Structure 1
Amino acid sequence: MTTRRHLLQTMMTTGVMAPLVAEARPRADDPWAEADRIVARIVRPHFPARDFVVTDFGATEGGKTKCTEAFAKAVDACTKAGGGRVVVPEGVWLTGPIHLKSNVNLFVSRDATVRFSTDTADYLPLVLTRWEGVECMNYSPLIYAFEAENIAVTGEGTLDGQASDVYWWPWKGKMNFGWREGTPNQDAARNRLFAMGDANTPVAERLFGEGSYLRPNFFEPYRCKNVLIEGVTLRNAPFWEVHPVLCRSVTVRGLTIDSAGPNTDGCDPESCRDVLIENCSFNTGDDCIAIKSGRNGDGRRVNVPSENIVIRGCRMKDGHGGVTIGSEITGGVHNVFAENCRMDSPDLWNAIRIKNNAMRGGNLGNFHFRNIAVGQVAHAVLTIDFNYEEGGKGAYHPVLKGVHLSSIVSGKSKYGIDAQGLPNAVVEDITLDHCAFDNVSDGVIVKYVRGMKFRGLTINGKPVSAP
């Protein structure tokens, strides 16, 4: 009989996500049937067979001349014609932000690289964005869309944000990302923004941009419907990379994401409904995937959850968490399904990570994970942390009920499980079903958790009972 260790090796090297145990036919009450229904109703945008090549609108190849105006003219012509593709041919193209409009597919050809300007003034005027879960007026994201329908970024080319320890990343205020004592950073503006959010300052008065040092997101569709980003490579992001906000029907497929800078989360759907993330590769300086729904007071004002998220077939390398829920989750998160993923790196902190606190609050639950192969992670296979940042200092009670892991194998970690609620916010209904965690150095931590069930869980080859 194939051992779990051999099965882990097979899953990691071949990518075949075979279940650890034989599975019966799906029952009528199988929660995974809901994942199929979510995927079935997500609308993939379709576009007329019309091409608008950026060179026809004045774009110059070579990466030296800014093509911002040419890209904008191509987008305008495309949407006015009823839709189609804005085509970036092979070569290197320098531009400021690209603003998509309804029925436009930005197609980045194979062997094409779009390099985004490092001149901060190019990202003005300010636009409505969400920065670490709080709405404000800030620099335009590198690719942005507002209240558009049927939009896409596709192709096999590369989108390069050109962030480095010289541009964008030093604003984090960390020396390992290029910041030096006496140079500016984001801290003052970040604190001012969070205070504005908690004070319910009108969003139109939350003005940032030049002199504030809040880095822009890479790709941010805002209040959009039927969104697709597929096939392209994203690298060197200033900040969060794929960040749909208040969107419905989103597909993120076949991306290669490679950014080692601060807060370069790979994919952060925030207050979105019906999202599919599949067959993507993440190598990030923060969480690979992080599901969010607003921060603290501003999250309670907007009060829109993220719900109906399906993740499958993804590969996670470096990062803080493979699949993360939080920490900006005040609006709540419901119905998350992740399966058939591979995670493996000594610089990946956690495989499955849920982070919250008593400043956020939020109602979370109905999370399902299955058939996930973890080579190694630095901290834990499953981390639930209600002590994140402010911990229990706030007046709100985070709720988490219903986290189910099935057929998860891991080859190395410090902890198998690190699950910690709060004395007045107890985590409920955590189930691990036929999981095997090997080379675990420090066992498990379980605090303020009720209703934990282990069915066939082994750690270092030995059966483990629920505490």
Structure 2
Amino acid sequence: MAASMETVECAGRSVHHPGGSAGSSTKGGAVGHRAHTASLKDFGGVGDGTTSNTKAFQAAVAHLAQFAGSGGGGMLFVPAGRWLTGPFNLTNSFTLFLHRDAVILATQTLALCILLMAASMETVECAGRSVHHPGGSAGSSTKGGAVGHRAHTASLKDFGGVGDGTTSNTKAFQAAVAHLAQFAGSGGGGMLFVPAGRWLTGPFNLTNSFTLFLHRDAVILATQDMSEWPVIDPLPSYGRGRDHAGGRYSSLVGGSHLTDVVITGDNGTIDGQGAFWWKKFHEGKLKYTRGYLIELMHSDQILISNLTLLNSPTWNIHPVYSRFDHVPNPNLRPSLIYIEAMAVTEISKFCSNIVISQITILAPVQSPNTDGINPDSCSHVRIEDCYIVSGDDCVAIKSGWDEYGIAVGMPSQHIIIRRLTCISPTSAVIALGSEMSGGIQDVRAEDITAIDTESGIRIKTAVGRGGYVKDIFVRGMNLDIMKWVFRMDGNYKSHPDNKYDPHAIPVIKGISYSNIIAKNVKQVARLHGIPNAPFAGICISNVTVQLAAKARKQTWTCTDVEGVSSGVTPAPCSSFPDQGAGAKPCPFPAGRFTY
């Protein structure tokens, strides 16, 4: 806390203003009275612009959280200085107050060694080795990168690209990727830089050992000329397109059987111009299934980060058939530990096969099927620090549809979702299924925030799906304005055709939900399993739900589900007997994935 305290006017009452200058005043109720105050320095904060203060912010908020509500609330004061930090969450009855000379700096853990493409090239240090830095200023240097070293760079303009928003750049993108493809593997890889501008294009595919980097003022615009959208075969695990039987349009940015691919930027934008597609979909004028914004198939060592995705025709990010079947070094195992300052090839050895980080996804909440991120028959995926507003599930984990998914038999497993923020009034924050016939296992989600979303966690399946959903662990959700916190549907009637096996009964077991706070909720849970095949092994602990003013009279509905509970308010249905105050919390695994 600053040494001097001054009194100012705020919403008609006197409050302390830390670090104020003589004669300063504030009106309009921005700070609010808090009974307890603390300075970031009290928790080891160092405002030198280089020391990480993530733990200091988290510890300070955790300390002040004890004073929420009747405790009078807490205020965290950030003194003058440059306070480097990763993401941190706030708490109830809380004020975050910044001194006029305080700067909270977002960490660049997934920082960009390669920033801007220009004529000049300079050398910088990244992950302990020398890489080319396009557009750097004299004497600049960067350490600790995460984009990955590429020996060769090119600008879209070098291939005739025109960023005027009307000229088609499909051939320019295709030519640029084809040129850089020659440097894959031992050639050192290639990076394609998309400068500031509006770059209209049809679909194009990426290549191996490749980085697609967007300038902060670059917008890749999906063309509305349908002749530029190739039609490709349906996915084998689906047997048909999702909108229609038969084929599907290619994704805007795609690729198959790739290794070491980075799609990133200085928060550049990819705009699918989806309104064109949504209108045709609603009018029934599409012969084929809409294309995704980004789809990588049979690919590994993937990083998608630091981008804004707008108005996808349908799903935004769809990694599919991506496996992690071997580890290059037996001493290096993927783990839950976040490895900083690694090149992408090194990240893949330590952590996840696919990393999707610091992505903003925006679509109108009425837009059809605009799911945010959908890992599909993928292994070792990490989704973190993403903000999603969509017309469908923010994250949906899938693994194939009925007999086609059973035949392919490729599960989604070992998936981490953390620090996700979601808004989706008609769908789920995290959905498992309904296409889950290859199986879903070992999903770990934590530190999830949602506002105005239909359900927190939803499992959806049906007779004929086969497969399984098991070992699902969710903790640390903060929800506001929900229809349901928990939802399970064992009768989700959608099938690719009438050839599904009516004896293919999905297995749902080992589901753990803990440490969840929700308010303005219409009904706590709607949980319906499958007759004679109940969803089992469900654990719910430390859950507090505040019902909305017009909540349903029956706070829980449960059929064909089995489990236990502890510390749950309002009390659950009889399917989840309370284990008492001494019960252990629901499990959440620590440490490494199991191979």
Q: Does 1:427 align with 2:502?
A: no
**Aligned counterpart, 1:84:** 190
Select which of 262, 271, 277 maps to 1:168.
277
One-letter amino acid matched to 1:407 = N
Cα distance, 1:334–1:357 mapped onto 2, change above 3 Å? same
Secondary structure of residue in 2 paired with 1:314: strand
Q: Does 1:184 align with 2:302?
A: no
Q: Does 1:257 align with 2:361?
A: yes
Structure 1 contact 72–99 (Cα < 8 Å) conserved: yes
One-letter amino acid matched to 1:184 = K
Q: Does 1:243 align with 2:353?
A: no
Select which of 214, 235, 249 maps to 1:139.
249
Give the number of the structure whose residues are more often helix, by fraction. Answer: 1
Q: Does 1:296 align with 2:402?
A: yes
**Aligned counterpart, 1:277:** 383
Listed as ranges, the matches of 1:382-421 within 5 Å are 382-390=486-494, 394-421=502-529
**Aligned counterpart, 1:33:** none
One-letter amino acid matched to 1:130 = L
Q: Does 1:55 align with 2:55?
A: no
**Aligned counterpart, 2:557:** 445
**Aligned counterpart, 1:208:** none
Listed as ranges, the matches of 1:155-234 within 5 Å are 155=265, 156-164=267-275, 167-173=276-282, 179=283, 184-185=285-286, 212-234=287-309
**Aligned counterpart, 1:148:** 258
Cα distance, 1:430–1:84 mapped onto 2, change above 3 Å? same
Q: Distance in 1 between matches of 2:166 and 2:296?
A: 27
Cα distance, 1:332 vs. partner?
A: 0.6
Q: Does 1:95 align with 2:210?
A: no
Cα distance, 1:359 vs. partner?
A: 2.1
Q: How many residues align?
A: 396
One-letter amino acid matched to 1:327 = S
One-letter amino acid matched to 1:53 = S
Cα distance, 1:130 vs. partner?
A: 2.9
Secondary structure of residue in 2 paired with 1:107: strand
- Runs of 4+ aligned residues of structure 1 deviating over 6 Å after TM superposition are 3-7, 462-465
Q: Distance in 2 between matches of 1:432 and 1:213?
A: 42
> Can you give the 5+ residue segments of structure 1 that lack an aligned partner in the other structure?
20-43, 174-178, 186-211
One-letter amino acid matched to 1:170 = K
Q: Distance in 1 between matches of 2:445 and 2:224?
A: 36
Secondary structure of residue in 1 paired with 2:158: helix
Q: Distance in 2 between matches of 1:383 and 1:137?
A: 32
Structure 1 contact 342–373 (Cα < 8 Å) conserved: yes
Structure 1 contact 45–227 (Cα < 8 Å) conserved: no
Q: Distance in 1 between matches of 2:510 and 2:380?
A: 19
Listed as ranges, the matches of 1:102-117 within 5 Å are 102-117=208-223
Q: Distance in 2 between matches of 1:131 and 1:246?
A: 10
Cα distance, 1:447–1:132 mapped onto 2, change above 3 Å? same
Q: Does 1:376 align with 2:481?
A: yes
Structure 1 contact 373–410 (Cα < 8 Å) conserved: yes
One-letter amino acid matched to 2:556 = V
One-letter amino acid matched to 2:260 = N
Cα distance, 1:120 vs. partner?
A: 1.2
Select which of 339, 357, 365 maps to 2:446.
339
Structure label with greater radius of gyration:
2
Q: Distance in 2 between matches of 1:437 and 1:15?
A: 23
Secondary structure of residue in 2 paired with 1:232: strand
One-letter amino acid matched to 1:453 = V
Structure 1 contact 294–330 (Cα < 8 Å) conserved: yes
Secondary structure of residue in 2 paired with 1:457: strand
Alignment root-mean-square deviation, CA: 2.6
